[in-house]
Amino acid sequence: EVQLVESGGGLVQAGGSLRLSCEASGFTSDDYAIAWFRQAPGKEREGVSCTSMSDGSVDYVDSVKGRFTVSSDNAKNTVYLQLDRLKPEDTAVYYCAAEWGPCVDDIGESYEYDYWGQGTQVTVSS
């Protein structure tokens, strides 16, 4: 059974940094992808990044390029999302999601992912 466990998140002032972690279990090979999505109140869930664990390649949504950085540790089956230079508009619940195979169509849509973490709140104050 695939499970995703998130950690990190919290309250930070604008310009600050946070790091989120997503640990995956239940995958029997490295041929899977882990994505980060976020959902702000009253808005649709938005894809932030996708990492193909087989080769470590990462795609980002344009709004976070240069501010957010994904790294991965295959030995720990963990993906980290480093959030720097945070803005109030980054406030959202952040979810990690996973699916077998590499990232497709950059990040893809939320319905393409079968496995989800519990979500973690990121709040950026102005």
Confidence of residue 126 (pLDDT cuts 50, 70, 90): very high
Q: Is the per-residue pLDDT at 105 higher than 80?
A: no
Averaged pLDDT score across all residues of the chain = 95
pLDDT of 84 over the 80 cut: yes
**Mean pLDDT confidence for 31-54:** 95
Q: Which residue, 81, 72, 76, is CA-closest to 37?
A: 81
* β-strand partners of 5: 23
| Side-chain half-sphere exposure of 92, counting CA atoms within 13 A | 21
Beta-bridge partners for 11: 123
Q: What are phi and psi of 7, to 5 degrees?
A: -150, 165
Tokens found for residue 85? 């230079």
Q: How many other C-beta atoms lie within 10 A of the C-beta of residue 46?
A: 16
